[in-house]
Structure 1
């Protein structure tokens, strides 16, 4: 785990990568950049590394342990942000935790996202590149169609799976979403 702790924070974020495991981060180091940025807004965050990055249920358990860690540090509202496989992990974990207020899935796979209909009252943001050759944008479209409650979908022309082609747009969109949803 990598912890970005904001003194006195009441809200924060858990970040996860994809099936590659480790501390993967899409969109040109999005997670460390946003982790530092959110500190200036009084929000803590935690980057989680899976024990087994190919096992959905274990990965969900790892994320829920990360949420518990943040709650033990005084947080009352948590956002979950995941890329690719991590998007499915975060949707599943978000549906299970009462501390989660919003989920952000970046270029998510659709497999393992059946719990998306159970997210409300939590909100959902999906961001997907229209040129994603690994997981097509139809994955996010399918998730969006099954989701209920507050949801938004941003499709980025020319962006591939890692979203590097428009990293600043992803940074701004995710930052603004998190600030809005966590300050409520």
Structure 2
């Protein structure tokens, strides 16, 4: 995987926010602000076990600041947020709580950049809730219960058993629900076509150890215009694999669809 993006200095101002989802879960979030008030915002949604405290997430968020103010947050069951992780199902309520808070703060254009589990949530949220200016899915799965790679087989072992869940709680500060989905939520590939006319960018690395590029192609093929697909040579999985160059490309793609980037 690629090295982390270096933090630019000085660090931008930030505000801590405590949100409550429609089903009553507390969400821990941080808003990074530019030098002056703006009407455009971007949400960064982490992958499973991720947190806004992670330096890779922070670096991506800071790279996107020329587009608009950036809110990062912890999904339910993760770190400072309440509740239990459902690994991509009820997390759409978490993302909607973040988007709703940004609208309350006066932002009229809100885009979402999601990674891995956060990418699946971003696609489903855009299809079900709508109202976002643009969606970027990075390293996202197209379907559930995928076990075609060693990394995903290990992940399923971790979330599917008591010992694995205890280890996740103890070492990663992630609390996972011990129940199966009932009913099963729609898969990203099943709802991607509902995102249009919101622009969708699907980004995936050809060295992803969790999901092969076929997942990205399936999401892109199921979507309708406007849509773009970037297969990145040598890129690994999710936040840790984002290089400064890729962050700038995503920033510029967002700027073209939501307004000019600030220099």
| TM-score normalised by the chain length of structure 1 | 0.88
2:48 paired residue number: 19
1:94 paired residue number: 126
1:47 paired residue number: 72
1:5 paired residue number: 33
CA RMSD, aligned part only?
2.1
Over 3 Å counting, the alpha-carbon distance change for 1:42 and 1:151 in structure 2 is closer
> What displacement does 1:83 show?
0.5
> What displacement does 1:43 show?
1.2
Match of 2:195 among 119, 123, 130: 119
Match of 1:58 among 83, 90, 97: 90
**Cα distance in 2, alignment partners of residues 78 and 19 from structure 1:** 22
2:150 paired residue number: none
SS in 1 for 2:207: coil
Question: Radius of gyration: which is bigger?
Answer: 2
**Cα distance in 1, alignment partners of residues 225 and 105 from structure 2:** 29
Between structures 1 and 2, the one with greater helix share: 1
2:100 paired residue number: 68
Match of 2:254 among 173, 178, 183: 178
**Cα distance in 1, alignment partners of residues 75 and 101 from structure 2:** 15
Residue pair 2:63, 2:248 contacting (<8 A) in 1 also: no
SS in 1 for 2:210: coil
> What displacement does 1:23 show?
2.6
**Cα distance in 2, alignment partners of residues 161 and 54 from structure 1:** 21
| TM-score normalised by the chain length of structure 2 | 0.63
Residue pair 1:83, 1:106 contacting (<8 A) in 2 also: yes
2:82 paired residue number: none
- In structure 1, runs of 5+ residues without a counterpart are none
User: Residues 42-76 of structure 1, C-alpha deviation per residue, up to 9 Å, x if partnerless?
Assistant: 61111021113434232110000000010011111
2:113 paired residue number: 81
